[in-house]
């Protein structure tokens, strides 16, 4: 089998054939950095990560570009509403640059916590204004624009294939409802390439351009930066399904009008994370960020495990109960792997680490000789090749860890190969669990209880220094104390 992907363009599963067989070039729309990414947004990036990891597993090199929107994304995806970055700056009293710095940092902390590989290139819109201006010049030269009331618009009537991605017949779209009625536009679906007439006084970010001092529309950044880093024709473009109708449709119109040729071969879109109120979104007020999950006692990897239990093209319903189920299932998995680790010489684990970081299936399959393991691995590969079917792929991971009477190092290598795609850090996490339980085995409980009693007495004697010293002594042995109304309790903490 070979990789098959569902292409939104054409709405069918297709064999994946890269333009250049040695390297897959892919662009994923990145975050707008005006607030914390919510866990629905993060689904989009875990999906991009599974795609990257799958491509690596199948032996491709990958050049993955992600943009950071730090200008131009209005509160409506079209040309309506206020710039999200400027609104956030106005509300907090910070500058746009400060807002961007805070949320870029927070975003990449989430990315690291979720074990998402960093893209090869991360590019900020505000650092690519010249590239955008150059691209707009080409679009203008090719006759696809008009000026109206100080703003430069893209004229969709000049682009024959407008709407081909969403399959919406533009003729049938009437102004009203969800489409902005802007009297400066010839067609309500025309969109701004360059604003010079800000709707807001004191617009903080303005650049000189051939059309006047102003700022870019939102969509042009993705066209300009993807072409700059990946060329005029590349393999894959991803985003959430909400981007199909406006953002990606407009990206295609711009890019193909500028170059006169096909821009992207495969369009992949993830479905929404939903709650009982529908799509998780800020406006509905039931939004959680990754830190909420951590505060509730979950690991970010519990959330990743939960996400992998759903296919990226299906809606996934978030609830705390569902997350609890995922947490328990992951714990069970790690407990089982912990047992396998007990029988494996430590030096053999280096190979696993190498594999989990970058596994090309063909290069490593020779390390497995057991027939049953080989068959689970092939089943796993076929599941992931079938449009990234992670729920199915997880079942073959379960089959591997349930195996008995096979050398533990061979099982661990198979786990590492699978985990190079799933990104659950299974062996490392199981090792941590093992170390915690090894520590517990070595703990002298009587000694701890004695020290707690001594600390209690020290507090009664108002010898707070001694009480603190005892707390610190225990902490240095990874034991933390917690004073509760029912007395002092102790816990073993992770030493890392």
Residue 412 site contact among ligand AMP, Zn ion, none (CB < 5 to 8 Å, cut-off depends on kind) = none
- In terms of CB distance, is 123 or 222 closer to Zn ion? 222
Beta bridge partners of 317: 274
3-state secondary structure of 36: coil
Q: Which residue is nearest to ligand AMP (CB)?
A: 240
User: What are the tokens at 289?
Assistant: 């960020």
Per CB under 5 A, does 222 bind Zn ion? yes
Q: Which is nearer to ligand AMP, 310 or 340 (CB)?
A: 310
Q: Categorise residue 163: left if φ over 0, alpha if ψ from -120 to 50, beta otherwise.
A: left
Which does residue 119 touch among ligand AMP, Zn ion, none (CB within 5 to 8 A, set by kind)? none
Which of ligand AMP, Zn ion, none binds 128 (CB below 5-8 Å, type-dependent)?
Answer: none
Question: Closest separation between CB of residue 314 and ligand AMP, Å?
Answer: 11
Q: Could you give the dihedral angle defined by the CA atoms of residues 453, 459, 465 and 466, in that order, rounded to the nearest 10 degrees?
A: -20
The Cα 314–Cα 319 span in angstroms is: 16
Alpha-carbon distance of 462 to 456, in angstroms, equals 10
- CB of residue 267 to Zn ion, shortest distance in Å: 12
Asked if residue 452 binds Zn ion (CB under 5 A), the reply is no
Nearer to ligand AMP, 32 or 88 (CB): 32
Tell me the CA distances in angstroms from 396 to 56, 329, 330, 363, one per residue in order: 19, 14, 14, 20
- Work out what residue 222 binds among Zn ion, ligand AMP, none; the CB cut-off runs from 5 to 8 Å by kind: Zn ion
Instruction: Name the residue nearer to ligand AMP (CB basis): 78 or 240.
Output: 240
Return the number of the residue (38 or 248) whose C-beta is nearest Zn ion.
248
Number of residues located near Zn ion, criterion CB under 5 A = 2
- Burial class of residue 173, CB neighbours in 10 A (0-12, 13-18, 19+): middle
Cβ-Cβ contacts under 8 Å for 186 (sequence gap 6 or more): 146, 148, 153, 155, 157
User: Smaller CB distance to ligand AMP: residue 40 or 300?
Assistant: 40
The stretch near Zn ion (CB under 5 A) out of 51-59, 216-224, 375-383, 452-460 is 216-224
Q: Give min distance, CB of 212 to Zn ion, in A.
A: 25
Q: With CB cut-offs between 5 and 8 Å by kind, which of ligand AMP, Zn ion, none does residue 280 bind?
A: ligand AMP
- Shortest separation between residue 266's beta carbon and Zn ion, angstroms: 15
Q: Determine the length of the chain.
A: 496
44, 240 in Cβ contact below 8 A? Answer: yes
* Contact status: 33 vs Zn ion (CB under 5 A): no
Question: Which is nearer to ligand AMP, 312 or 380 (by Cβ)?
Answer: 312
SS3 173: coil
Cα-based distances in Å from 172 to 144, 157, 169, 275, 433: 21, 14, 6, 32, 59
To Zn ion, the closest distance from the beta carbon of 254 in angstroms equals 11
Judged by the rule CB under 6 A, the positions of this chain that interact with ligand AMP are: 29, 31-32, 40-41, 43-44, 239-240, 242-243, 270, 272-273, 279-281
Among 5, 9, 29, 421, binds Zn ion (CB under 5 A): 29
Between strands 264-270 and 215-216, the pairing is unpaired
Contacts to Zn ion by CB under 5 A:
29, 222
């Amino acid at each position: 089998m070979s990789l098959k992907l569902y292409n939104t363009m054409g709405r069918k599963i297709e064999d994946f054939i890269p333009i250049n067989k040695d390297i897959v070039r892919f662009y994923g729309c990145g975050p707008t950095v005006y607030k914390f990414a919510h866990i629905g947004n993060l689904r989009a990036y875990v999906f991009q990560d599974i795609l990257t990891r799958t491509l690596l597993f199948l032996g491709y090199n990958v050049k993955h570009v992600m943009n950071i929107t730090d200008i131009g994304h209005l509160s409506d995806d079209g040309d309506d509403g206020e710039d999200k970055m400027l609104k956030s700056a106005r509300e907090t009293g910070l500058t746009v640059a400060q807002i961007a710095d805070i949320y870029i940092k927070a975003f990449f902390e989430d990315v690291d916590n979720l074990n998402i590989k960093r893209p090869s290139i991360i590019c900020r819109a505000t650092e690519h204004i010249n590239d955008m201006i150059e691209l707009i010049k080409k679009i203008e030269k090719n006759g696809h624009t008009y000026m109206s009331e100080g703003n430069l618009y893209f004229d969709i009537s000049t682009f024959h294939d407008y709407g081909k991605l969403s399959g919406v017949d533009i003729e049938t779209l009437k102004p009203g409802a969800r489409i902005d009625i802007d009297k400066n536009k010839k067609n309500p679906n025309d969109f701004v390439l360059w604003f010079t007439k800000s709707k807001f006084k004191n617009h903080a970010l303005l650049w000189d351009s051939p059309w006047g001092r102003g700022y870019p529309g939102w969509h042009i950044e993705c066209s300009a930066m993807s072409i700059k880093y990946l060329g005029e024709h590349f393999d894959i473009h991803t985003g959430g399904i909400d981007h199909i109708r406006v953002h990606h449709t407009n990206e295609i119109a711009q890019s193909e009008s500028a170059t006169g040729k096909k821009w992207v071969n495969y369009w992949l879109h993830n479905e929404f994370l939903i709650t009982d109120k529908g799509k998780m979104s800020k406006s509905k007020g039931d939004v959680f960020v990754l830190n909420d999950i951590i505060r509730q006692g979950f690991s970010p990897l519990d959330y990743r495990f939960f996400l992998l239990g759903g296919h990226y093209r299906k809606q996934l319903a978030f609830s705390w109960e569902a997350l609890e189920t995922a947490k328990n299932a992951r714990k069970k998995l790690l407990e089982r792997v912990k047992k396998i680790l007990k029988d494996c010489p430590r030096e053999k684990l280096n190979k696993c680490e190498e594999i989990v970081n970058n596994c090309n299936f063909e290069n490593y399959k020779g390390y497995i000789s057991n027939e049953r393991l080989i068959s689970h691995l092939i089943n796993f590969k076929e599941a992931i090749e079938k449009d990234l079917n992670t729920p199915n792929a997880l079942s073959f991971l379960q089959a591997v860890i349930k195996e008995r009477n096979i050398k533990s190092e061979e099982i661990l290598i198979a786990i590492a190969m699978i985990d190079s795609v799933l990104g659950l850090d299974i062996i490392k996490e199981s090792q941590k669990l093992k170390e915690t339980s090894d520590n517990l085995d070595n703990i002298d409980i009587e000694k701890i209880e004695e020290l707690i009693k001594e600390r209690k007495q020290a507090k009664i004697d108002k010898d707070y220094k001694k009480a603190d010293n005892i707390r610190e002594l225990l902490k240095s042995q990874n034991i933390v104390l917690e004073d509760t109304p029912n007395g002092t309790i102790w816990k073993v903490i992770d030493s890392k």
